[in-house]
Amino acid sequence: MQTITVTTTPFMDQRPGTSGLRKRVTQFQQPHYLENFVQAIFDTKNDLNGGTLVVGGDGRYYNREAIQIIIRMAAANGVKRLLVGKGGILSTPAVSAIIRKYHTNGGIILSASHNPGGPDGDFGIKFNGDNGGPATEQVTEAIYARSKTVNRYLTTHAAAINLDHIGHSHIGDMAIEVIDPVHDYAELMQTIFDFDAIRHLIVDNGFRLCFDAMHAVTGPYAIDILEHRLGAPAGSVINSTPLEDFGGGHPDPNLVYAKTLVEAIFGNNPPDFGAASDGDGDRNMILGAHFFVTPSDSLAIMAANAHLIPGYASGLKGVARSMPTSCAVDRVASELRIPWYETPTGWKFFGNLLDSNQATLCGEESFGTSSAHVREKDGLWAVLFWLNILAARRTSVATIVKEHWQRFGRNFYTRHDYEAVDATAANELMHHVEQQLPALIGKELNGIMVSAADNFSYLDPVDKSCSERQGLRVIFSDGSRIIFRLSGTGTVGATLRIYIEKYESDSSRHHEDTQQILQPLIDTALTLSQLRQRIGREQPDVIT
């Protein structure tokens, strides 16, 4: 094999966000753009030279071409062994599971998660470390720093690897294994959940489910596990074929974009259980007949029912949630007498807690939940967790949620997303809110006193690193919260997210409409931010 050194110049826009580097496909297709960032990874992570690397993606447009580029560069940069999913497919949680099972030096995941795909859509790349989790801030900052100075990358003229057949091949001294993308992940799920009980629920009790793979990566995983291993009838998994453009849809599992599933679950003769996952398989949405489970409630209910799951029957070490996620799980942790942690948004912040055995379950309000079995969000795992609860309790999704509220109280919660906002206007809005925070403490807004107001910072209890400026919080004396945050997952403009929460212990009010209950706080948030005047939007793009 002849190593080729290609001269290049840096791109100055390659700083990874909360989930790696995400840009338009057309930006990644620029000469040297992908190669520069990949070389920055190899130059930063020296243990990949002579090590083992996992590579896969969600099947979106440009996935196959990017994998071939990475394979050639990996060989030229001294990688000894490379594992790649058949067809270039590997879900994000599957990559994490494979890294951990085979003790590799890390993995490269090609995905823009829930963002649209296709030639005019988005593409993304991120590096996961040897614990299976997203690279730490220190690593991503080092990769970014190298991307700004990289002046050459290494590659070779090797022929393209056939990704459509499981097998072994070589480029120079690098061994390449095209592997079954589902097998290792499915086997891991069987060690956690009671597949016999779930199968009995589905096969022997007429339990009907519908899983929407949204033409994204979880289709093959859901077919194998839900239909083949657990006995759900053929067709229970819909939109199961991964497509480069996700069938023209938006692979985000929420009430707006999972339209086919939502129409079925809220229609006549609905299935007993509905669920969806996103582009790369790390997010989940849980539904019952005519009933939506918020991600925050889902995390809390999982924690309260974990003793029913074989993999967690011995107890939870702790729970962790991102700061914007509702405080519902905190109440469960208090009753269970286990620690709970509040971290910034971004799954990488859970890594130290999981690695040090201080937390077992973790969750984010943005439809992400998982546990110590991997170091990523895991959409299908969450679905199996709920199916195992349903198999053990033999009641409906709605009843489980309502009984949880009866026991712990209800955290009314909503998130309003304003997408593709002018970045300058969004940053000015955040600055306007932040300037007001010190004066709000001790002041009454809508008759409730503000007890705290700040820009959230996090001190990692394990490595003592500090992450500052993670979101603006207004916290009221009754526990209600208003949070403003700019998301790092979009590729056009800015995504402004406003999170509203109010706790209600009175069970006679638990049935009331979330938006109506929260409207006074929503109005307060709009007034504080001058949102309509500053960004020119009357309504959010998505409400969850």
CB atoms within 10 A of CB 98: 24
Retrieve residue 270's tokens: 């609905």
CA separation for the pair 91, 109 (Å, rounded): 8
CA separation for the pair 115, 123 (Å, rounded): 8
Contact (Cβ atoms closer than 8 angstroms) between residue 98 and residue 184: yes
Strands 291-293, 319-322: pairing kind: unpaired
Contact (Cβ atoms closer than 8 angstroms) between residue 219 and residue 225: no
Helix (H, G, I), strand (E, B) or coil at 248: helix
Between 514-529 and 423-440, two packed helices, what is the crossing angle to 10 degrees? 100
* Element containing residue 449 per DSSP (H, E): strand 448-455
Q: Which residues in 269-396 belong to E strands, given as ranges?
A: 273-277, 284-288, 291-293, 319-322, 340-343, 361-364, 368-371
CB atoms within 10 A of CB 534: 17
CA separation for the pair 538, 174 (Å, rounded): 56
Tell me, yes or no, if 113 is annotated catalytic. yes
CA separation for the pair 223, 448 (Å, rounded): 50
Quote the Cα angle for 501-507-508, to 5°. 110
List the catalytic residue out of 113, 236, 240, 480: 113
Helix (H, G, I), strand (E, B) or coil at 109: strand
* Element containing residue 397 per DSSP (H, E): helix 397-408
Active centre residues (catalytic)? 113
